[in-house]
Amino acid sequence: MNRVEDIYKAYLQCDSVSFDSRKLSGKSLFVALKGTKTDGNAFVKQALDTGALYAIADDPTLEGTDRVFVVDDALTALQDLARHHRRQLTIPVIGLTGSNGKTTSKELFRSVFATRYNAYATRGNYNNHIGVPVSVLEIKPDHQIAVIEMGANHQKEIEFLCTISMPDYVYITNYGLAHLEGFGGVEGIIKGKSEIYEYARQNGKTALVNIDDAKQVEKSVGISRIITFGTSDRADYQITLNATKPFVSVKFRDHIIESRLSGGYNFSNIAAAIALGAHFGLSIDEIAQGIAAYTPDNNRSQLVNTRKARIICDAYNANPSSMEGAVSNLAEFDGVRVAILGDMYELGDYTDEAHQYIADLCEKLRIEEVYLIGEYFGRVKTDKWKKLSTTEEAVEFFKSYDPNDKTILVKASRSMALERLYPILGIEA
């Protein structure tokens, strides 16, 4: 018997996979990964003492320890284990990637499928070279369908993640301007995301394609099975926008389907979930129930009414495309609109142009008040908008700000931590 089969037998006795020796269930498989500061190998013995049933480690001095599999590289062993598990699964697996909207789409897919099936979906944002194998290993024998989110910030990453998740259905949410630096420009992003199509082409899998996105249509040519959705009557599943305020609703087969998501850019996320639900035989009622049941509570496009104002909490993350979508959405609200925007990272040479573009867009869309926070926005040329150099400075500034009756968008890259403004703007924790 080879090593992966040995480890797989151990995995089957466990109920979870863990890297943190402080967070173990009674039957964990502990994987000793190397972080930037710590080496999991140092915690193997403690993990086995405090709950782990087995451990995978790559420190040769642990050789011979009871219940420890010593391998050349623990991360590779984890990925091989996930591949082995994936090959045993016979349920449909949907794999999705894209620049923006992966987690939102994934949650909508889960919510729709859950109305009929025991559906698995990636936990949180666990979408990288560690998260994808863990997600695959979380698919249990009683799951009937699974959705795996795959993220990437450089070439060949999606190709690699597909070798682990081996999706039967693939979907790209969109090609946007995210991780420009790592991908090497716009063409690089399109190429990198399209690796999921290449996988589908080579392995005879099915692609879900947004017919309104010319790039998706172009790049998916040659895939043997394609399911299309979108506003065109040429789509297999025709879905049109009904309203965007306060939440997005869409029309499908003469029914209005209401979501709890704010922002017109969520249209394609919702439409994709409807198309997939319909493809898997769900009724319109089930689909509608699934879409309505998903309320974002994760700081992504979350609309919160406070006593004094309406806040669009989108401080989870930002890049030029999602920022443009969010500002355009804000512009659609009535009354005084306020954009509190923080720096966008990972843009390389495109940094100044992108920040200038967003500041100018706010002016073009006649947003009443704009606050630009951070070093990059600090370099923008504008005599109209207020600049604040750091999140700390913004926190101080907004302490004396009156949000009265305004609609306020808060958005920035993750590390700006602009959610620190929420309590100051009147959102209760």
- Choosing among ligand ATP, Mg ion, none, which partner's interface includes residue 171 (Cβ < 5 to 8 Å by kind)? none
Q: Does 391 bind Mg ion (CB under 5 A)?
A: no
Contacting Mg ion within 115-154 (CB under 5 A): 125
Out of 16, 28, 103, 194, point to the residue binding Mg ion (CB under 5 A). Answer: 103
Choose from Mg ion, ligand ATP, none: what does 403 bind? Cβ within 5-8 Å by kind: none
Residue 115's binding partner out of Mg ion, ligand ATP, none, with CB under 5 to 8 Å set by partner kind: none
**Closest CB to ligand ATP among 107 and 168?**
107
Binding to Mg ion by residue 105, rule CB under 5 A? no
Task: Please indicate if the annotation marks 104 as binding a ligand.
Answer: yes
Q: Which does 249 bind (CB under 5 to 8 A by kind): Mg ion, ligand ATP, none?
A: none
Q: Which is nearer to Mg ion, 101 or 230 (CB)?
A: 101
Size of the site for Mg ion (CB under 5 A): 3
- The reply to whether 300 sits near Mg ion by the rule CB under 5 A is no
Q: Of these partners, Mg ion, ligand ATP, none, which one is at the site of residue 111 (CB under 5 to 8 Å by kind)?
A: none
Residue 193 binds Mg ion, judged by CB under 5 A: no
Q: Which span (100-108, 205-213, 253-261, 342-350) binds Mg ion, by CB under 5 A?
A: 100-108
Interface with Mg ion (CB under 5 A), residue from 102, 116, 205, 219: 102
Q: Is 100 annotated as ligand-binding? A: yes
- For the bound state, the minimum distance from the C-beta of residue 230 to ligand ATP, rounded and expressed in Å, comes to 13
Question: Is residue 122 part of an annotated ligand binding site?
Answer: no
Rg (CA), the chain: 23
Which range in 101-109, 128-136, 335-343, 363-371 contacts Mg ion by CB under 5 A?
Answer: 101-109
**Nearest CB to ligand ATP, comparing residues 85 and 102:** 102
When CB distances are held under 5 to 8 angstroms depending on the partner's kind, the choice from ligand ATP, Mg ion, none that residue 342 binds is: none
Q: Which is nearer to ligand ATP, 266 or 391 (CB)?
A: 266
Nearer to ligand ATP, 29 or 158 (CB): 158
Restricting to residues 56-95, which ones interact with Mg ion according to CB under 5 A? none
Report whether 322 belongs to an annotated binding site. no
In the bound state with Mg ion, the residue whose beta carbon lies nearer, of 103 and 301, is 103
Q: How far is the CB of 298 from Mg ion (least distance, A)?
A: 9
Nearest alpha-carbon partner for 419 in 123, 371, 411, 39: 411
Closest distance between Mg ion and the C-beta of residue 126, in Å?
9
- The smaller minimum CB distance to ligand ATP, of residues 326 and 362, is found at 326
Q: Which residues bind ligand ATP (CB under 6 A)?
A: 98, 100-104, 125, 127, 151, 173-174, 176, 265-266, 268-269, 300-301, 314, 316-317, 321-322, 325-326
Please identify the residue of the shown chain whose CB is closest to the bound ligand ATP.
Answer: 101
- Report the residue number, 102 or 110, with the smaller CB distance to ligand ATP: 102
3-state DSSP of the chain: CCHHHHHHHHHHHCCEEECCCCCCCCCEEEECCECCCCEHHHHHHHHHHCCEEEEEECCHHHCCCCCEEECCCHHHHHHHHHHHHHHHCCCCEEEEECCCCHHHHHHHHHHHHCCCCCEEECCCCCCCCCHHHHHHHHCCCCCCEEEEECCCCCCCHHHHHHHHHCCCEEEECCCCCCCHHHHCHHHHHHHHHCHHHHHHHHHCCEEEEECCCHHHHHHCCCCCEEEEEECCCCCCEEEEEEECCCCCEEEECCEEEECCCCCHHHHHHHHHHHHHHHHCCCCHHHHHHHHHHCCCCCCCCEEEECCCCEEEEECCCCCHHHHHHHHHHHHCCCCCEEEEEECCCCCHHHHHHHHHHHHHHHHHCCCCEEEEECHHHHCCCCCCCEEECCHHHHHHHHCCCCCCCCEEEEECCHHHCHHHHCHHHCCCC
Report whether 132 contacts 164 (CB < 8 A): yes
Distance CA 143, CA 249 (A): 30
Which two tokens mark 67? 């219940």
Amino acid at 83: R
Minimum CB distance to ligand ATP smaller for 51 or for 176: 176
Phi first, then psi: give them for residue 213, nearest 5 degrees.
Answer: -105, 100
Distances (CA, A) of 75 to 53, 80, 131, 218, 220: 18, 9, 11, 36, 32
Question: Does 101 belong to an annotated binding site?
Answer: yes
Q: Which residues are part of a known binding site for ATP?
A: 98-104
Residue numbers at the binding site for Mg ion (CB under 5 A):
102-103, 125
